[in-house]
């Protein structure tokens, strides 16, 4: 803070101490006003200095940010170039592979290198826009640093000089006002002194007169008369001096109040005006500096706007695909197939074995694979219908976002597409094996009669009708034919010849009992005959089961849990079930021998529960499902539903893409794609 404030305070204190006349109060008020104006200039200067520091800090941070991401961008480009260079020069050798495989791998690496070299030279519109954004950030940082220099070295210094200069002028005005006051007081003092001398001379004349009147003789009277005359002369001179001093004091008083003080006040006013003009001029310089920064920002934003507007997502993707050869030949597609590697102990080839035992094994495997393919085809068809409906929903949401978020629907479409891709991979696996088996053994013989094998537990040792080994123990379930009573290990399932005599119970061993021992704390359960395995029945899991990583259509279940039958075992030894885990319902295949149908009472209760899920009895079979997306009805025959709401399907999709549902109160049509897939 400048010393002018203490100086102004001293002068104000002096004016208060004098306490003479209202003119001093006016000078004090004007001086206070001017002092506040000069102090305001100093406040503005402090603001500009702090603003300058903020601009400098902002500029440094912007510059560091731009350099950081520019460095990352450059590093990414260098890594791409380096990767392309390494791939183009490095052809890995593989001593364990045939020579032609090494050459194929080398050619593939060269092809990938060529593609990477092209892709490194291609600069997408997105990368161009990113480069412009980084450049704009650097330019903005420099502009703010320039503004810092202008605020600190130009604006703040000018404000300091203005405040100092005006403070000195204010001090001079106050000092001159005190000089005028002192001069006025001096004249008043001279007038008062002249009056005092005049009064003293009057008293002297009176004294001389009295002495003359009391003179004892003429000689003394003459002498005192002369003295009296001299006092009268002095009185007249003193009076004249007093009259002159009085006239001068009055004249100067009028000049002081009517000329000096108004002129001084006008000078102080001019000082205030000049201070404001100086501040205005400096603020104009500030505005110019800020405008220069804004001009830079606007120009940079214009460049960035053009770069961003020119971004072509489709074009960038197409350019990248073209740089990769349009993926006509995906890297790795030219790699040789996996060869058949015979055992070192046997001289063998890659053909399927065709002896009688292998023929039986392949025939059973073929039958099992065909059932898997049929199940996958059904699920793929269902998911394709769901995907088509979801695409229609996506188009509707894209046109009117008030209906819903198209991004969420897009994710659902991708999930369905991924599921379909995984299912098709599994189908490719099974169909390839089916084709290979059929090419080897041909069509199924019309005389073949396959056993209707079901999972079973054996409380006492039982002989396997195939390998003649012992089947025993709850932890080691086996199989039994519901038609002829044929018993076998699980491991022997695919080796059993299709020679079922069809006589039910003819070969059923005495050791097979209908009452089984539970392996869980749930309690005693009954063995289920074929008629008890209905859709919707409940069953207990007897043993933990974890499918292989490649078994996409199977699910893992834990011992003691309860599952619901979706599709009973058709003789393949597998049952399609629904399993509730972690609040999510999943479905898939599990070995039939790993599950035990619940007691008839519980099964009947389960069936009754399934039937009672509908809000009111009806002749039409209903299926419970959940609404996936909000839908507002567009007609009288439609129904408004909310996401997460439970409804019951009373009439399925007839190919129109609509289903009839009941929400417990009303019934109407909703798009099939707005519902969760029925498990």
| Residues in a beta bridge with 608 | none
Residue partners of 392: CB distance under 8 A and separation at least 6: 657, 671, 673
CA angle 13, 14, 20 (to 5 degrees): 110
The region, left, alpha or beta by phi > 0 then psi within -120 to 50, assigned to residue 481 is beta
Q: Flag the least confident range among 17-26, 249-258, 411-420, 425-434.
A: 17-26
- The predicted structure's pLDDT at residue 580: 76
**What pLDDT sits at residue 503?**
62
Residue 510: what pLDDT?
32
Does residue 343 carry a pLDDT above 80?
no
**Residue 87: what pLDDT?**
52
Query: Nearest Cα to 18, choosing from 175, 131, 178?
Result: 178
Q: Domain spanning 4-314: which CATH class is it, in words? A: mainly alpha
Q: What is the pLDDT of residue 631?
A: 86
Per-residue pLDDT at 92: 46
CB contact at 8 A, 379 and 423: yes
DSSP states along 557-597: B-TT-EEEEEE---SSSEEEEEEEETTEEEEEEEEGGGEEE
* pLDDT value at residue 3: 36
Kindly indicate the confidence band of residue 211, based on its pLDDT and cuts at 50, 70 and 90.
confident
Q: How far is CA 401 from the centre of its chain?
A: 20
* CA gyration radius, the chain: 55
Does position 560 have pLDDT exceeding 80, yes or no?
no
Q: What pLDDT does residue 54 have? A: 93
pLDDT digits over 520-552, tens only? 222 333 333 344 566 667 787 887 888 876 666
Nearest CA-CA partner of 118 in 291, 374, 254, 322? 322
Measured in degrees and rounded to the nearest 5, phi and psi for residue 163 equal -65, -40
Convert 508-534 to b/e letters by CB count within 10 Å (16 or more is b): bbeebeeebeebeeeeebbebeeebbe
pLDDT in tens, 160-175: 999 999 999 999 988 9
Which CATH superfamily groups domain 613-679? SH3 Domains (2.30.30.40)
* Its pTM surpasses 0.75: no
Q: Distance between CA 562 and CA 577 in Å, rounded? A: 10
CA dist., res. 528 & res. 606, Å (int): 15
Question: What is the pLDDT, as a whole number, of residue 611?
Answer: 43
Percent of the chain with pLDDT over 70: 78
Computed over every residue of the chain, the mean pLDDT equals 78
User: Is CATH 3.90.226.10 the right assignment for the domain spanning 514-611?
Assistant: no
> What is the C-alpha separation between 587 and 535, in angstroms, rounded?
13
Q: How far apart are CA 63 and CA 303, in angstroms?
A: 19
Give the up-direction half-sphere exposure of residue 347: CA atoms within 13 A in the CB hemisphere: 0
Percent of the chain with pLDDT over 90: 18
Residues 6+ apart with CB under 8 A from 658: 669, 670, 671, 672
Q: Are 576 and 437 in contact (CB under 8 A)?
A: no
Question: Is 70 exceeded by the pLDDT of residue 190?
Answer: yes
Give the pLDDT band (50/70/90) at residue 213. Answer: confident
Q: In what order do the strands lie in the sheet with 667-671?
A: 623-626, 646-651, 658-662, 667-671
Q: Which of 233, 152, 234, 172 is CA-nearest to residue 200?
A: 234
Residue 363 has pLDDT above 70, yes or no: yes
pLDDT at 583: 65
Render pLDDT for 280-298 as a digit per residue (tens, 0 to 9). 999 999 999 989 989 988 9
CB 519 within 8 A of CB 564: no
């Amino acid at each position: 803070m400048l010393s002018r404030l203490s100086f102004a305070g001293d002068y104000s204190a002096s004016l208060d101490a004098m306490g003479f006349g209202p003119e001093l109060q006016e000078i004090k008020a004007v001086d206070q006003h001017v002092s506040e104006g000069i102090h305001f200039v100093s406040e503005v200067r402090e603001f500009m200095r702090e603003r300058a520091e903020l601009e400098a800090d902002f500029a440094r941070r912007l510059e560091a940010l731009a350099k950081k991401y520019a460095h990352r961008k450059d590093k990414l480009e260098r890594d791409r170039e380096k990767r392309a260079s390494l791939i183009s020069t490095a052809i890995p050798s593989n001593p364990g592979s045939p020579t032609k495989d090494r050459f194929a791998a080398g050619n593939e690496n060269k092809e990938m290198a060529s593609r990477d070299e092209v892709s490194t030279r291609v600069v997408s519109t997105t990368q161009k826009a990113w480069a412009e954004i980084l450049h704009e950030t650097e330019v903005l940082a420099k502009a703010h640093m320039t503004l810092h220099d202008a605020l600190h070295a130009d604006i703040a210094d000018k404000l300091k000089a203005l405040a100092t200069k005006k403070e000195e002028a204010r001090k001079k005005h106050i000092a001159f006002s005190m000089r005028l006051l002192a001069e006025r007081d001096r004249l008043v003092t001279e007038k008062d002194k002249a009056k005092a001398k005049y009064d003293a001379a009057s008293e002297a004349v009176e004294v001389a007169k009295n002495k003359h009147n009391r003179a004892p003789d003429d000689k003394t009277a003459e002498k005192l008369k002369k003295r009296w005359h001299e006092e009268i002369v002095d009185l007249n001179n003193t009076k004249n001096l007093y009259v002159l001093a009085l006239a001068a004091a009055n004249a100067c008083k009028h000049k002081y109040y009517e000329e000096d003080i108004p002129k001084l006040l006008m000078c102080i006013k001019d000082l205030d005006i000049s201070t404001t003009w100086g501040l205005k001029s400096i603020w104009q310089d500030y505005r110019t500096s800020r405008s220069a920064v804004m001009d830079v920002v606007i120009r940079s934003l214009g460049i960035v706007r053009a770069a961003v507007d020119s971004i072509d997502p489709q074009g960038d993707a197409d350019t990248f695909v073209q740089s990769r050869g349009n993926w006509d030949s995906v890297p790795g597609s030219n790699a040789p197939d996996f060869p058949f590697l015979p055992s070192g102990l046997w001289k063998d080839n890659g053909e399927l074995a065709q002896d009688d035992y292998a023929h039986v094994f392949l025939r059973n495997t073929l039958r099992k694979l065909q059932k898997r393919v049929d199940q996958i085809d059904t699920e793929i068809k269902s998911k394709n219908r769901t995907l088509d409906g979801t695409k229609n929903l996506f188009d509707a949401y894209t046109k009117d976002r008030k209906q819903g978020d198209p991004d969420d629907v897009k994710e659902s479409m991708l999930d369905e597409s991924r599921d379909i891709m995984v299912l098709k991979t599994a189908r490719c696996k099974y169909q390839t094996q089916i084709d290979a088996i059929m090419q080897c053994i041909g069509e199924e013989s019309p005389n073949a009669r396959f056993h209707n094998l079901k999972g079973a537990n054996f409380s006492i040792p039982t002989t396997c009708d195939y390998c003649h080994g012992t089947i025993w123990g709850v932890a080691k379930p086996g199989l039994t034919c519901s038609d002829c009573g044929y018993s076998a290990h699980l491991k022997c399932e695919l080796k059993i010849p299709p020679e079922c005599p069809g006589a039910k119970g003819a070969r059923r061993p005495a050791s097979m009992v209908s009452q089984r021992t539970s392996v869980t704390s749930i309690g005693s359960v009954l063995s289920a005959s074929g008629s008890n395995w209905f859709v919707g029945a409940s069953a207990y899991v007897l043993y933990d089961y974890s499918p292989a990583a490649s078994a996409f259509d199977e699910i893992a279940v834990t011992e003691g849990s309860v599952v619901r039958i979706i599709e009973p075992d058709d003789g393949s030894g597998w049952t399609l079930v629904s399993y509730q885990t972690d609040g999510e319902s999943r479905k898939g295949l599990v070995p039939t021998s790993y599950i035990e149908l619940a007691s008839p009472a519980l099964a009947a209760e389960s069936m009754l529960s399934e039937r009672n899920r509908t809000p009111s009895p009806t002749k039409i079979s209903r299926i419970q499902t959940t609404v996936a997306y909000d839908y507002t009805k567009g007609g009288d025959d439609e129904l408004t539903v909310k996401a997460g709401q439970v409804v019951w399907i009373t009439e399925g999709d007839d190919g129109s893409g609509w289903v009839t549902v009941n929400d417990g109160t009303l019934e109407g049509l909703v798009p099939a794609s707005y519902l969760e897939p029925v498990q």
